[in-house]
């Protein structure tokens, strides 16, 4: 526990200090999620200043502040200081309504002071207000950013929370005593987690047309497929960032997803708002090298993923249909990148296969939901009453996919591509094994949220997939 403080008056910043997140960005994202057209008004709000901008957000959105992640070590210390009689004031550049809401939720502060729509209570302006409130006497101040330096220069006690090493270096020579709490996590590692590079494995589907066209050894086409893979990966990561920001509060209610970088507060929302469009731009810059048909498919994929994030994910079964289509678009994009055609049978097989896997994902979520005693999936249109219908639908799609695959390898257009097409029939039991294993594990409640990633990490499934690849090679 920290030593006794030099001043009884303690002023506490909110965004980044008391809480890990920033309520302005939380409000911005929450408002756009429900009413995207407000995006047209926001530039005009900003023209009237940040304080006015924050006020307009606060008027239109009410955040569940009790779910906002706190800097726990600092919060525990504040509780100790409060218990020994210290006066605590929450003072922030956030709008007054937001500051009041947070203060009421915690029940820890004697006063709560925020921006009023005209004055952005930050830096020197915050210092002036603190001097008024402390009547020119000694005070302690807790903050986390360079904007807090002017306040710290007048404080009799400096408290830094969740601060970068560079900021600590700038104030280390201060004459006032310094306390430190909650060292921040690595932003780079949090960003890597947020873009989900492990999910890029799904984009290997862009190589499928190359494999089926027997052009895997063609360096020019392999290069084009590689560019398509990178482009799709950047585009997907851009949408992952957007999706995680839109799902902040639903993720914070989830047993596992609450540890995601944005939901946990380990990665600032400002990073996501800046990096998501940069990744998307990089994706389309790479796509510009490829045939224009690939750019069209990539654009359709991006539009669908955005619609899914904002709206479709909340629709019963339409969400899994969209996921199946997004997987299939990867195959279409791979074909467009190397300028070959995808057969109708292949695309139908893809839709059914990934439709079944998407339903397996929903089944897993509902199965885990039932184990917790809850009935409604957060942000979804499903309840535990849908468990059995979802299960039967998923099994139907999976079986239908195997049947369509049998038809696909039987048609002359496919058989003519192989020297020994009969060998391809050996893939059917392997495919049934992989899908059957996924559903068996799902019924046991042992499947993670993503069946495809499970298959890519499960040794029996990987061996079956490798054997399927070997059979294709032998058939060629």
Report yes or no on 2 lying in a domain. Answer: no
- What CATH number is associated with residue 59? 3.40.50.1000
Asked whether residue 370 carries a pLDDT value surpassing 70, the answer given is no
Per the prediction, the chain carries an average pLDDT of 90
> In this structure, are 107 and 192 located in the same domain?
no
**Contact of 160 with 168, CB cutoff 8 Å:** yes
Report yes or no on 4 lying in a domain. Answer: no
**Domain boundaries, position 124:** 9-183
Residue 237 is predicted with a pLDDT of 95
Confidence category of residue 59, pLDDT binned at 50, 70, 90: very high
Q: 183, 203, 219: which is the final residue of a domain?
A: 183
Report yes or no on 3 lying in a domain. Answer: no
> In this structure, are 173 and 93 located in the same domain?
yes
Pairwise CA distance, residues 262 & 254, whole Å: 13
Asked whether residue 369 carries a pLDDT value surpassing 80, the answer given is no
pLDDT digits (tens, 9 = 90+) for 116-167: 999 999 999 999 999 999 998 999 999 999 999 999 999 999 999 999 888 9
Answer with the residue of higher pLDDT: 407 or 385. 407
Q: 155, 183, 211: which is the final residue of a domain?
A: 183
Q: What is the pTM of this model?
A: 0.84
Q: Where are the alpha helices (DSSP H) in 120-259?
A: 124-133, 149-154, 165-171, 187-195, 208-212, 219-246, 248-252
Asked whether residue 96 carries a pLDDT value surpassing 90, the answer given is yes
> In this structure, are 66 and 196 located in the same domain?
no
The H or E element spanning position 332 is helix 318-338
> In this structure, are 197 and 93 located in the same domain?
no
Structure tokens belonging to residue 391: 């299960």
């Amino acid at each position: 526990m920290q030593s006794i403080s030099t001043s009884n008056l303690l002023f506490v910043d909110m965004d980044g200090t008391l809480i890990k997140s920033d309520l302005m960005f939380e409000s911005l994202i929450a408002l756009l999620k429900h009413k995207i057209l407000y995006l047209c008004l926001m530039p005009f709000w900003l023209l009237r200043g940040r304080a006015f901008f924050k006020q307009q957000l606060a008027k239109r959105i009410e955040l569940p502040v009790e779910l906002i992640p706190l800097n726990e070590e600092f919060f525990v210390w504040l509780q100790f200081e409060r218990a020994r009689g210290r006066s605590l004031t929450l003072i922030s550049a956030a709008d007054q309504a937001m500051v009041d809401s947070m203060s009421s939720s915690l029940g820890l502060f004697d006063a709560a002071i925020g921006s009023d729509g005209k004055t952005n209570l930050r830096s020197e302006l915050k210092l002036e207000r603190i001097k008024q409130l402390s009547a020119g006497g000694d005070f302690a101040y807790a903050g986390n950013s360079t904007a807090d330096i002017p306040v710290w220069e007048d404080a009799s006690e400096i408290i830094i929370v969740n601060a970068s090493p560079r900021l600590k270096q700038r104030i280390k020579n201060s004459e006032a005593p310094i306390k430190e709490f909650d060292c921040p996590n690595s932003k780079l590692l949090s960003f890597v987690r947020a873009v989900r590079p492990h999910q890029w494995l799904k984009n290997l589907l862009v190589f499928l047309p190359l494999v089926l066209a027997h052009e895997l050894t063609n360096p020019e086409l392999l290069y084009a497929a590689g560019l398509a893979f990178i482009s799709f990966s950047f585009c997907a990561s851009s949408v992952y960032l957007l999706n995680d920001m839109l799902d902040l509060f639903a993720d914070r209610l989830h047993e596992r997803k609450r540890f995601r970088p944005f939901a946990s507060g380990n990665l600032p929302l400002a990073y996501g708002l800046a990096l998501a469009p940069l990744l998307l731009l990089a994706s389309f810059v790479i796509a510009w090298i490829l045939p224009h048909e690939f750019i069209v498919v990539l654009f359709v994929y991006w539009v669908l993923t955005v619609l899914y994030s904002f709206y479709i994910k909340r629709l019963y079964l339409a969400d899994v249909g969209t996921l199946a289509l997004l997987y299939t678009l990867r195959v279409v994009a791979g074909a467009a990148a190397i300028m070959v055609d995808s057969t109708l049978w292949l695309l139908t097989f893809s839709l059914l296969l990934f439709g079944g896997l998407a339903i397996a994902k929903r089944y897993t979520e509902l199965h885990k939901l039932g184990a917790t005693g809850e009935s409604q999936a957060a942000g979804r249109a499903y309840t535990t009453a849908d468990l059995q219908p979802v299960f039967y639908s998923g099994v139907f799609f999976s079986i239908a996919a195997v049947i369509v695959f049998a038809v696909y390898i039987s048609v002359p257009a496919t058989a003519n591509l192989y020297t020994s097409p009969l060998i391809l029939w050996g893939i059917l039991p392997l495919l049934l094994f992989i899908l059957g294993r996924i559903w068996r594990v799902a019924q046991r409640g042992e499947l993670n949220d993503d069946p495809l990633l499970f298959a890519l990490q499960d040794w029996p499934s990987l061996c079956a997939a490798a054997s399927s690849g070997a059979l294709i090679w032998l058939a060629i």
